[in-house]
Amino acid sequence: MTLTFFDFFAGPADGRIRHFDYTRGSSGFAADLVTLTRLVAEDRLHPEIGVCRPWTATAQILADLRARRIRGNAVLTIPARDGTHYG
């Protein structure tokens, strides 16, 4: 059985999404990131960015994702001290 992101929200009332922090743990992710970067550079992996918005738009982005108004990935940017956004 395949469970998609959207299936999760239609599922059981006691379901949870847990925080995942890949920067902590005993195994490094550098090799994985190098591989992903190489695949993109070689035009073998095509990440699709559907929208790029400030972190403050999270609620709207989640609503748009649930309603399938965004095709691809949603990127949320974090403002730098000077007001510009990373991402």
Strand order in the sheet with 73-79: 49-54, 73-79, 85-86
Contact 6, 70 (CB under 8 A): no
pLDDT computed for residue 33 by the predictor: 80
Taking the C-alpha atoms of residue 22 and residue 69, their distance in angstroms, rounded to an integer, is: 28
Question: pLDDT for 39-50, tens place per residue?
Answer: 989 999 888 899
Decide: helix, strand or coil at residue 49: strand
pTM of the model: 0.49
